[in-house]
Structures are given as C-alpha cells and as structure tokens.
Amino acid sequence: MSPPGPAKIPQHVAIIMDGNGRWAQQRGLPRLEGHRRGVETVRPVVDAAREIGIRYITLYAFSVENWKRPTDEVSGLMGLLDYFLKRELNNLIKEKVRLHTIGRIEALPANVQKELARVKEATQHFTDWNLVLALNYGARTEVADAARAYAAAVQAGTEPLADASWDNFRRYLYSAQLPDPDLLIRTSGEQRVSNFMLLQCAYAEMVFTPVLWPDFGRADLQAAVDEYGRRERRYGLTTEQIKSGAS
Ligand code: FPP
C-alpha cells in the first residue's frame, strides 16, 4: 500500500455562519448575544484557516434578506460589524491578511462603510491570506448588478456581444478578483445555500455540520477540510479520466 499523498487543501473556503440565534435561544439569551458570540468565533477560524493553508476565507455575514429582521437585530449586527473591524485591524495587519468585501456595500451605514474602507486600504498590499466578508450580499442581486454592468459595456462598445461568455461575464461579479470557492461549509444543520455565491460555487464541495456557529472551532474546520480531501472532484468527467490526468 502506498503512503497517503499530501493532503488536499482547498484554496478558498466559504462559510455560511448559521445558528447564532439558536445558540442564544438554547441558553435563554437574546439573539444578539448569539451574534456577539458568533463574532468571537471569527478570529480563531481565520487563524486556523491560515495555519491549514487556506488562502481565501469568505464569511456570509449579512445577506440582502437580513434587512427584514427586527430593526434592533439589524442595528445590533451593524454595531458588531463596526466593533469587529475596529478591533481586528491591527491583527489583520500583523497576520498579513487582506480584507475584501462582496455585496452592495454602498447601502451599509456610513460608519461601517468608513471602517471597511479603512481596513481594506490598510491591508490592500497583502497577497497570501485573504478574508472576504459578504455584506448586504445576495447571489441574485449580484447577477443583476453584473448583468447591468455587462450590458452597459456592450452598449458602450467596449464588450463585444459576440464574445459573451462565462469568463467575460464573471469579471463583472463582486467576486471578480477572487478564485471560486472549493469548499462551502454551512453550520447549524441546515442544508441549503440561501442565495450565497450560487455561480461561484458551481463546482464547490459542500459540507454541512450540525455545530452552531458560536461553537464552531478549529477542529470543526479541520474536519471539513479532511472531508474535502476525501472527495473526488470530477467537473463532469469520469473517475478514469481524472486518474489519467484529463482536463
Ligand atoms: C445566522 O444566524 C447569522 C447571521 C445572520 C449573521 C452572522 C453574523 C455574525 C456571526 C456576526 C457578524 C460577523 C462579523 C464577521 C463581524 P441566525 O441568526 O440565522 O441563527 P438562527 O438560524 O439560529 O436563528
């Protein structure tokens, strides 16, 4: 028997951080307390991702649909985001992690936009490690925004209609500068993708864990990466073709 080969490490892991509300409910605490604990989970998970060798980690922090939650929960989440950005700036610089965002950032409160701009600017020269926050994000909204921009470029004559293709269209997505996620993790036992990076996850492996986001830790991330390593990604080919190195 040959020894195991090097472990397959996903380059980009996207996470739907779910279960903060239930975590709080189980303890008789307000929902916001669950979100507060959820924020505390972020740094150890980003640290663990870097140690594993994951170059991009994307966190679904606020969806376009989340505005419909009670106003005190929405303002609480915005407050936590502001707090997180202020607190993490020095750490991101120390660990050489670049911050990116995907989503309609221009609709977020002005103070949050200001913090985002500050942290992005301060980390923009880092290349190896990347933290992507999905904020006011929805995949269908992203497609509509990209289609509008693409159509405008066609109308302006800078984008020939005859060249319309996925490779050209993807340059108009919020995620144009990012590789596609290899692994999508959702916590809390729900098994759905909830309008999250639908096109970018076309070939992503999916791992659903019952662990609630505030309880999610290094070992849970490692377990998902191990599971990813056991999967065979075929991109529509057969196992035999994959083994013979076809692409
Ligand atoms: C889902 O839990 C979680 C959210 C809608 C927000 C996620 C946000 C955070 C973890 C905090 C902010 C993040 C950063 C990076 C500062 P839920 O409320 O839907 O849980 P439930 O399904 O149990 O009710």
Closest C-alpha among 163, 170, 167 to residue 147 = 170
Pocket test for ligand 1, best of 16, 18, 135 (most atoms within 8 A of CB): 18
Indicate whether 4 belongs to any domain: no
For residue 80 and ligand 1, the question of a CB distance below 6 A is answered with yes
> In the numeric block, which tokens belong to residue 29?
């605490």
Indicate whether 141 belongs to any domain: yes
Closest C-alpha among 86, 81, 92, 91 to residue 125 = 92
- H/E stretch holding 135 reads strand 129-137
Indicate whether 2 belongs to any domain: no
The tens digit of pLDDT for each residue in 21-68 reads 999 999 999 999 999 999 999 999 999 999 999 999 999 999 999 999
The tens digit of pLDDT for each residue in 13-24 reads 999 999 999 999
Split into its structural domains, the chain has a count of 1
Question: What phi, psi does 206 have (nearest 5°)?
Answer: -115, 135
Could you list the pLDDT tens digit for every one of the 247 residues in the chain? 334 556 799 999 999 999 999 999 999 999 999 999 999 999 999 999 999 999 999 999 999 999 999 999 999 999 999 999 999 999 999 999 999 999 999 999 999 999 999 999 999 999 999 999 999 999 999 999 999 999 999 999 999 999 999 999 999 999 999 999 999 999 999 999 999 999 999 999 999 999 999 999 999 999 999 999 999 878 888 888 888 887 6
Indicate whether 164 belongs to any domain: yes
Indicate whether 16 belongs to any domain: yes
- H/E stretch holding 58 reads strand 56-63
* CATH assignment of the domain containing 179: 3.40.1180.10
- H/E stretch holding 16 reads strand 12-16
Indicate whether 78 belongs to any domain: yes
**For residue 227, how far is its CA from the centre of ligand 1 (angstroms)?**
24
Report the C-alpha gap between 111 and 19 in whole angstroms: 27
**For residue 135, how far is its CA from the centre of ligand 1 (angstroms)?**
12
Closest C-alpha among 50, 16, 9 to residue 191 = 16
Structural domain range at position 40: 10-244
> In the numeric block, which tokens belong to residue 7?
């472990």
